[in-house]
Amino acid sequence: MNGLTFAVQLLNGVQYGLVLFLVASGLTLVFGILGVINLAHGAFYMLGAYLAYWIAAMTGSFWAALLGSVGISFVLGLALENVFIKRMYGRDHLAQVLLSFGMILVIDEVRQILFGKDVHSVAPPAWLSGSIKLTDVLSYPVYRLALCGFCLAMAIAIFYVIQRTRIGMVIRAGAENREMTRSLGIPFDTVNRFVFAGGIALAALGGAVVAPVSTVFPGMGDSMLILSFVVVVLGGIGSVSGAAIGALLIGLTDTFGKVFFPQISSILIYVLMAGILLWRPNGILGKREV
Amino acid sequence: MTKKLTNSDTNLVGMSRRRFLTGTAGLTILGGASHFPMPALAQGSPLKVGLMLPYSGTFAKLGKFVDDGFRLYVEQQGGKLGGREVSFVQVDDESKPEAATDNMNRLVGREKVDVVVGTVHSGVAMAMVKVARDTNTMLIIPNAGANEATGPMCAPHVFRTSFSNWQVCYPMGKVVADAGHKKVVTITWRYAAGTQMVDAFKEGFTKAGGTIAGELALPFPEVEFQALITQIATLKPDAVFAFFAGGGAVKFVKDYAAAGLNKSIPLYGAGFLTDGTIAAQGDAATGIKTTLHYADNIDNPANKAFQGAFKAKTGNDGDIYAVQGFDGAALLNVGLTAVKGDKAARETMVTAMRAAKLDSPRGPMSFSKANNPIQNIYLREVKNGRNELVSIAQANVEDPARGCKLTG
């Protein structure tokens, strides 16, 4: 393997990791701040992709598809929090798992009714649809590079909101001590609602931006859900920076695993997870038990 | 589960009780008037066909097309096969191998069907073959391509009207070698069907003098192809042979084109790479050559008649799955015609079916000693969003039926 191929594979790994981060960040926020296990996260990822396909087919605009998909999912997230999720705070995880598993089934069935079972694709905007020639045979699609940049920008935005803004402060305070935050007069219930809807919107955003390079198909959320959980557990539950590290680790392990150890590539990320959890049982940046 | 069956109990095609009674009464009178002995028909119980297909889940669309194709043939015969009325019992196998044995036992044991038609998923089909062998039930497989079904697990009363994984891919080896490609990389999912297809291609290709430069595989049903596509570019083979299906096929073909590989390294594959997925693949699929036992524009009267009738019945264009269902009914018709509708004469029926020569929409079709179709395998190229026929890759391909005791 020469330098260029190595660099390309590195880019593949980083790009895959960044996409994983975008999807997993929503899961870790909901998990870490609301204490809710949301198994339906992958289903919202799929829904985001289908909505993007649907809106793109109607309007012909990729950006409209992106905004529409995120907007609809955000509103859906607000409604679901108001009706279902808010009853789940503080309940044991089994109840949350049952509820969110039910949501997977419902979302799947709704998707079936609205969009059918066919495989679809979404065209990227014209100025991003070209590719850059790397060698005489290999080119790199511009959209994948743009995807890297977009995910990176989203990551920075998420860090900024959580670490530097007032709303981020409230979120962090709530994650630290729910009752204390509430007794200080902070409208924590509203914050909760927006955090959940934000998590859903991030999943849908992931599905929508990935749609042009991935395709849109019924089972697409399942593997993403499992990988997102691996990322969240690896990075430390509730830690956004942990999720970023975890996602990059998994992206690189998966990519180089496929290249160097094709026979065992499918178990490598789980071996990595087991190893890291032995070393740090709460994940890389997880909080230590007091 | 029980509810599903109760619903399907009433699901007799064109068979209200009254119509059924008048039908049999008419036959009895006819029999009496002409002094022609028609014992079986006079007994009058319809042939009970168990359709065990995926009516929900990933393969639901495929199951629907098999079902429509089968019923279309029966309707064309006036709701009868070999002069005998046909009734249907449907079971949704959901493409779940773990439920397959129970579902099959229910059809055979409780519903007492005369013949089972199913299914799409190979894992489910293998469980069905096992029950069919244990209970001596007639089984017609309308899709699943696992080599074993007409290999080590073959039986005189287990038929297949589709293909074996080997059969579809072996002829591609020579096609690729004849095109002047010496060094080929294969890529597929690491699971039974993928391995069997790639192995058959390898067998054909190395026999024709080619070398395999690399065998890439990823776990089923993963769709993150980027790392392997970069590897293909590094290996720089003369051509690539791929097997994927469904969403994975769409994504692979698009990723391959997005990486610019389609311009320099031609992509070949099993027909499933571009069948039913071509609309979503769009331009990225143009130029891909695949082998399959069917093509969209086969120019023979049987195909034209079939396509017309299928469109009229369902509003959809018939595909390979519909053809396979259609031929399943045609095969059963041969058997029942040979015994004049007397379904009790199973041995004669089986013998006639094993010797059947069908004028299928896919072209001429007969059966090997292991009951797998002997059929043409076509080379197709994606042009104008269709799998257009290029040539016959190999005529009358017969699966070697390795491990089958019937071939000795």
Q: Give the tens place of pLDDT for each residue, B226-256.
A: 999 999 999 999 999 999 988 889 999 999 9
DSSP structure class, residue A250:
H
Is pLDDT above 90 for B1?
no
Whether the CB of A126 is below 8 Å from some CB of chain B: the reply is: no
Count of CB pairs separated by less than 8 Å, A with B: 102
What is the pLDDT, as a whole number, of residue B223?
86
Calpha distance A164→A144 (Å, rounded): 29
Query: CB distance from A8 to chain B under 8 Å?
Result: yes
Chain A residues with beta carbon closer than 8 angstroms to that of B234: 1, 5
| B401 and B372 Cβ atoms separated by less than 8 Å | yes
Query: What is the arithmetic mean of pLDDT over B71-80?
Result: 96
pLDDT in tens, B2-36: 334 434 443 444 444 444 444 444 444 444 444 44
What phi and psi values does residue B93 have, to the nearest 5 degrees?
A: -85, -10
Please, where are the H alpha helices in B88-157? 97-105, 122-135
Q: Indicate the SS3 state at residue A141.
A: strand
CATH number of this structure's domain B166-292: 3.40.50.2300
Q: Measured between beta carbons, which residues in chain A are less than 8 angstroms from residue B236?
A: 137
Q: Do A137 and B264 touch (CB under 8 A)?
A: yes
Break chain A into its structural domains and give their ranges: 13-218
Tell me, yes or no, if A111 comes closer than 8 A to chain B by beta carbon: no
The reported pLDDT for the residue numbered B10 is: 39
pLDDT at A239: 86
Q: Give, for B243, the enclosing helix (H) or strand (E).
A: strand B239-243
Q: What is the dihedral of CA B164, B168, B169, B172, to 10 degrees?
A: 160
pLDDT at residue B89 is higher than 80:
yes
Q: Does B277 touch chain A (CB under 8 A)?
A: yes
Q: Is A105 on the interface with B (CB under 8 A)?
A: no
Q: Which of the 8 DSSP states describes residue B147? A: G
- pLDDT tens digit sequence for B274-331: 988 888 898 999 999 999 999 988 999 999 999 999 999 999 889 999 999 999 999 9
Q: Does A113 touch chain B (CB under 8 A)?
A: no
Which member of A137, A258, A266 has the closest CB to residue B265? A137
What pLDDT does residue B23 have? 45
Instruction: Answer whether B397's CB lies under 8 Å from B175's CB.
Output: no
Residues contacting residue A207 through CB under 8 Å, at least 6 positions apart: A23, A44, A45, A46, A47, A48, A49, A50, A52, A69, A220, A221
Task: Tell if the CB–CB gap between B227 and A258 is shorter than 8 Å.
Answer: yes
For domain B2-163+299-374, the CATH superfamily is: Response regulator (3.40.50.2300)
* Percent residues over pLDDT 90 in chain B: 76
- Ordered per-residue pLDDT tens for chain A, 290 residues: 688 889 999 999 999 999 999 999 999 989 888 889 999 999 999 999 999 999 999 999 999 999 999 999 999 999 999 999 989 888 899 999 999 999 999 999 999 899 887 788 888 898 998 888 888 888 899 999 999 999 999 999 999 998 899 888 888 888 778 788 888 888 878 888 999 999 999 999 999 999 998 789 888 898 899 999 999 999 998 888 999 999 999 999 999 999 898 888 889 999 999 999 999 998 998 875 54
Complex prediction ipTM: 0.84
Q: What are the tens digits of pLDDT across the range B254-267?
A: 999 989 999 999 99
Taking CA A87 as the corner, what is the angle to CA A83 and CA A92, rounded to the nearest 5 degrees? Answer: 140
- For chain B, give every domain's residue range: 2-163+299-374, 166-292
Distance from CA of A144 to the nearest CA of B (A): 10
- CB within 8 A of A172, min separation 6: which ones? A162
A131 touches B at CB < 8 Å: yes
**Structure confidence at residue A288 (pLDDT):** 57
What pLDDT shows up at residue B31? Answer: 41
